[in-house]
Amino acid sequence: MTASINKNYQRLPGAIAAICLFAGTLHAEPLLSPDATLTRGRPVTSSGATSAQIVDRTTGDVLGVIFANPWAVKSGTGSSTVTYDGNGAVISKIKYDDLNVTGVNGYPAIGYGGDAWGFQNGGTKSNGTRLPIGLKSLESLLADTEYALSGKKYPGNLDVAFDIWLIPHLGFKGGREGAVEVMLMYYYDFAWRSPCKIKKTVKLDATVNGTPTQLSFAQHICVKGNGPGSYVAYTPLDQGNMEKARIKLDLKPLLDDAVADTGVDTSWYLAGIQFGTEYGNPGNTQSIDYQMETRHFLLQQTLKQP
């Protein structure tokens, strides 16, 4: 089954337009996340289990968060670091030997907004992209990211992915079991194939390296598969794995698709969005040595008019 959930976001004017018309509906001015070029914050590094907020070097506002997040590294020698250099890049460096065997050992990433545990890192200013935000009030959410993988040895399991948290209400702190987790993967190479049921194919209009195109993804629904506690993953199909790309697409149709297929209420909220890599040792390699560099991270939000 193939579901078309395309969105002609490219018709939207830039942030300079106060009011725009789109498909006959009146929309407010798009709101932008404050540090798309990754240059406004003070340089900072996250290592191990410690996260680090990105803080505006002029105003002191929180612009986001980085985290090395080796949450399932139980044995081995090496390190996981994520650095926001303040000069246009977020750089993840992962290097381990004799790593313990598991599907996913860690998820180093940059994040914006909230999550399922009540943490908040940016997204509260009225003049920028607001997270958490009610899904009903969200018209579109353009994600514009540029990234590149490199390294001596990729792990046996590796992806490049958004990790997106949906929560039932504002102030929610109940964690994974009461939320819905949605992952959109631009790169997916797992020796352990997903145990989750592939329900359908979805297609999204996108711009890749400046060229309009359409990307297709397999939708996997797992864990509970219905209601709170569900996990939905979208893995790349026809376009293959993209180790290096600049990709722009609207996340809102994908979120609507996940909400509909997990059966949660449309009154739920988008808590926050993270972008990074999952890595794991499936048993055919115990050494991991790679780098992920993010050069652009923009979330452009358009709200429905009351």
CATH label of the domain that carries residue 173: 2.60.120.180
CB 226 within 8 A of CB 232: no
pLDDT on residue 151: 87
Confidence of residue 52 (pLDDT cuts 50, 70, 90): very high
Residue 5, judged by CB atoms within 10 A of its CB (0-12, 13-18, 19+), counts as middle
Q: Which residues contact 7 (CB under 8 A, 6 or more apart)?
A: 140, 204, 205, 250, 252, 253
Amino acid at 2: T
Peptide bond into 70 cis (omega under 30): no
pLDDT on residue 7: 41
User: Residue 59 pLDDT > 50, yes or no?
Assistant: yes
User: Residue 27 pLDDT > 80, yes or no?
Assistant: no
pLDDT on residue 239: 87
User: Residue 84 pLDDT > 60, yes or no?
Assistant: yes
Two structure tokens written together for 78 = 């090496």
Enclosing domain of residue 177: 2-303
Q: What percent of the chain has pLDDT over 70?
A: 89
Confidence of residue 301 (pLDDT cuts 50, 70, 90): very high
In the DSSP assignment, the letter for residue 212 is E
Average pLDDT over residues 119-140: 92
Give Cα 185 to chain centroid, integer Å. 8
User: Residue 294 pLDDT > 70, yes or no?
Assistant: yes
Mean pLDDT for all residues in the chain: 88
Distances from the Cα of 228 to the Cα of 120, 167, 175, 242, angstroms: 21, 9, 10, 31
CB 80 within 8 A of CB 106: yes
The number of folded domains in the chain is: 1
Q: Is the dihedral of CA 193, 197, 201, 207 positive or negative?
A: negative
User: Residue 134 pLDDT > 50, yes or no?
Assistant: yes
CB 176 within 8 A of CB 306: no
pLDDT on residue 224: 67
CB 133 within 8 A of CB 304: no
Pairing of strands 230-236, 180-190: parallel
Q: What percent of the chain has pLDDT over 90?
A: 75
Amino acid at 116: A
Amino acid at 239: Q
Two structure tokens written together for 43 = 């340089």
Confidence of residue 14 (pLDDT cuts 50, 70, 90): very low
Average pLDDT over residues 197-208: 93
Question: What is the secondary structure of 73-88 as a DSSP string?
Answer: --S-EEEEEEEE-SSS
Distances from the Cα of 248 to the Cα of 105, 147, 212, 238, 272, angstroms: 28, 12, 9, 17, 18
pLDDT on residue 22: 32
CB 267 within 8 A of CB 136: yes
User: Residue 188 pLDDT > 80, yes or no?
Assistant: yes
- pLDDT tens digits, residue range 278-293? 999 878 778 899 999 9
Ramachandran class of 225: left when φ > 0, alpha when ψ lies in -120 to 50, beta otherwise: left
How far is Cα 143 from Cα 218, in angstroms, rounded to an integer?
Answer: 19
pLDDT on residue 2: 56
